[in-house]
Structure 1
Amino acid sequence: MVTILGPRQSGKTTLTRMTFPEMPYFSLEDPDIRMAAEADPRGFLAAMEKGGILDEVQRLPVLLSYIQGMVDKAKKRGGFILTGSHQPQLHEAISQSLAGRTAMLALWPFSLREIRRYDTPRDPFDLICRGFFPRLHEEGLEPRRFFNGYLQTYVERDVRALIQLRDLSLFQKFLTLLAGRVGQIVNLASLGNDVGASATTIRNWLSVLKASYVVFELPPYFENVQKRVIKSPKIYFTDVGLAAFLLGIHTAEQASRDPLRGNLYENLVIADIVKCALNRGIRPDIYFFRDSRGNEIDLLIRESGILMPVEIKSAATFSTDFVKRIEWFHSLGLKRVLPGTVLYNGEQTFGIRGVRILNPLDVEDIWLTLTRPAE
């Protein structure tokens, strides 16, 4: 068995049906199929004796108990492909019924590498507005209309399914204010005051957005190198296009001039690093580092016990200041640290004092590039 998790519209259905065209396919989003499966689970699964694809299986978690029995009786592997977009519900059901029986994979929207097959402008600020959902590139949809529908159809509906949401306008305000804090450490009390909700409510809403793959956290890295470090995570959007839409940024020119330009560019790059790792079946071990004085490294990748410091800059012109923070990080005396990389928006690729300077849009596979030492 294989279970594929990820945000709605990230291409889970298309991927599974293209990979296994001969398998019977059922979407539990369809009310009639869901009712039939709920009324007679054994009869429903009898049509899938040799396996099949069950889409959005979190809509009927009880079905997994019956699948468990079928899998245990099967003499060969590879019977079922499950997809889901609500992580907690699916994880709970899997941990109870399918532990040790299924591989867990994650699929996010397109990576920079994947959109190269389309006639998409090679401009990071255009990509920030356009986003990376497959339909935007495959069908040439207008991003503003797509994200408006995406919010109403999926995000708000999924939120209602997970929590008792009384005031939708308050949640919409929360989403917009959260987008304004992209790439920043979010103070729940401060955000709650701005929204008009308690810190507990904000924490619950944030957990729902993470569970539905709307946002993800970048945790802080800390060792006993200093007594005080920042221990709260940063928040990024799984698709930077949704963050730009919530901020009212609809053109590349707007994005390039916006005060949050650097944060949005950072979101684009870090999300792409995560996608490249997930597409290889790797759950990336990534962090940021900031001490109590505000000294910070944008991204730390830990792979095989080795740390790779990464600085991310939206500027097209290189400055030696970009390297100073990496040199500061090396001065802390941590063991097994690679020289480091600066990812920026310029055209030149070179090295300076052992640090690689790259444009992430020029790299074939950003995960492999960052986790392998420079030759």
Structure 2
Amino acid sequence: MIRRDAEATILRLLQGFPAVTITGPRQSGKTTLARAIFSQKPYFSLEDPDMRQLALDDPRGFLSRTAQGAVLDEIQRAPDILSYLQTHMDEHGRMGMFILTGSQHFGLMSDVTQSLAGRTAFVQLLPFSLEEVKRSSASSLELDDLLFAGGYPPLYDRNLTPDIWMPAYITAYLERDVRQILEVQNLEAFQRFLRLCAGRSGQILNLSALATDCGITHNTARSWITVLETSFILFRLYPHHANFRKRLVKSPKIYFYDTGLMCRLLGIQNAQQLAFHPLRGAIFETFVVSELKKACFNFLLNVELYFWRDSNGREIDVIADFGGSLMPIEIKSGQTVNRDFFTNLEHWLKLAGKTAFSPVLIHGGKAEMIRKEIKVTGWQNAARILTTDS
């Protein structure tokens, strides 16, 4: 198994909670990680119809088989067992008994939060981060290859290529799961919606325009975006609230968690097409912002991510808010660092004053330097800037 960044976090949480709940998209490696951590404990998959029926028909009998704890996989498939699990944990009074996993964040979180309040910690496991890909047997660590492949584990621990695996994933998991939640009748409209969202990754979310382009209602677009977010396909990045006496954009941006999925939905067929693709800058920005999100989840960082944009179009791609201390992060896909890259950072730093610290420019090359107290670093170090002293 490829070592996951979140493993140490989960082990630490198991020392202080009876259970840890791992959520995330399908095929992100939740089951593999849970079974590796609890290799000496029994494993029960509630996707298995027989096992699920046993848990639903005789929850006490089912849990009697887990006196020493267990991995309960896809727990959202048997939500009624959670109340019995609460009693079971309280009776034994031990930490680190269970690891629960679930793919549908949307229903799972409300059920688990209500039933196991104070008894479980939560870890969100996304596809591989760059550091995790480096631990794999990846044949290439070139930027365009990584952007095209994305980070889903099956692409790195099986003999599969993105052009073979990604269509099957979209059909078998994404369309099936999301359609099941939403009861989508018009598959063609939903597929078009996914592609349109991919084309807007890194842009301000305009639900009205998205709905019009897709031929659906505004309320339907809002509902579909929410479910895609709670299914860990995309996320909203909200504008930072500090106004510095300027009119600010109030709408969020959307980003995909995985650039491989994004590329597939955009119709990109190979890594070579990325070099001159009109959305390459957006794909690169999506990659960097996703790396930052993965770092926050994997290491439970006490930091919130935002963006900043004023009415004149000046923008900082990411503001990392460390409890009032603000780290501005600018993202540029170009490999050659030029003066224009620094314009918005320099403007924002003057406005932010003493609240700002450790400004960073992440670019598509490998050059490392300090320029006017701004740290310039290549894409390989994107996530590290949140976990190391800048």
Please state which band the TM-score falls in when normalised by the shorter chain.
over 0.9
Q: CA deviation at 1:32?
A: 1.7
- The alignment status of 1:64 with 2:97, answered yes or no, reads no
Structure 2 vs 1, CA of residues 216 and 80 (structure 1 numbering), >3 Å: closer, same or farther?
same
Q: CA deviation at 1:227?
A: 4.6
Preserved contact between residue 129 and residue 251 of structure 1 (Cα < 8 Å): yes
Preserved contact between residue 360 and residue 366 of structure 1 (Cα < 8 Å): no
Matching residue's letter, 2:322: E
**1:181 corresponds to:** 200
Give CA-to-partner distance per residue, 1:1-31, whole Å, 9 cap, x none: 1111111111110001111101111111112
SS in structure 1 at match of 2:245: coil
- The alignment status of 1:40 with 2:58, answered yes or no, reads yes
Q: Distance in 1 between matches of 2:45 and 2:372?
A: 54
Preserved contact between residue 274 and residue 284 of structure 1 (Cα < 8 Å): no
Matching residue's letter, 2:369: F
- The alignment status of 1:217 with 2:236, answered yes or no, reads yes
Q: Distance in 2 between matches of 1:204 and 1:304?
A: 31
- The alignment status of 1:123 with 2:139, answered yes or no, reads no
For this pair of structures, how many residues does the alignment match? 371
- The alignment status of 1:26 with 2:17, answered yes or no, reads no
TM-score scaled to structure 1, two decimals? Answer: 0.96
Q: Distance in 2 between matches of 1:81 and 1:347?
A: 40
Alignment map for 1:212-361 (pairs within 5 Å): 212-282=231-301, 284-361=303-380
Give CA-to-partner distance per residue, 1:290-316, whole Å, 9 cap, x none: 001111001110114210111111111
Preserved contact between residue 276 and residue 366 of structure 1 (Cα < 8 Å): no
Match for residue 157 of structure 1 among 139, 158, 176: 176
SS in structure 2 at match of 1:67: helix
Q: CA deviation at 1:362?
A: 4.7
Preserved contact between residue 185 and residue 234 of structure 1 (Cα < 8 Å): yes
Give CA-to-partner distance per residue, 1:255-296, whole Å, 9 cap, x none: 121111110000111111111221112364000100011110
**2:32 corresponds to:** 14
Matching residue's letter, 2:97: G
SS in structure 2 at match of 1:267: helix
Matching residue's letter, 1:2: V
Q: CA deviation at 1:364?
A: 7.8
Unaligned runs of 5+ in 2: 1-18
Unaligned runs of 5+ in 1: none
Preserved contact between residue 278 and residue 284 of structure 1 (Cα < 8 Å): no
Which moved further from structure 2: 196-205 or 340-349?
A: 340-349
Q: CA deviation at 1:334?
A: 4.4
Give CA-to-partner distance per residue, 1:54-113, whole Å, 9 cap, x none: 111111111111100101111311111101111121111122110111111111111111
Percent identity of paired positions between Structure 1 and Structure 2: 43
- RMSD across aligned positions (CA): 1.4
Preserved contact between residue 298 and residue 310 of structure 1 (Cα < 8 Å): yes
**1:84 corresponds to:** 102
Q: Which runs of 4+ in 1 moved over 6 A?
A: none
Q: Distance in 1 between matches of 2:253 and 2:98?
A: 36
Structure 2 vs 1, CA of residues 302 and 105 (structure 1 numbering), >3 Å: closer, same or farther?
same
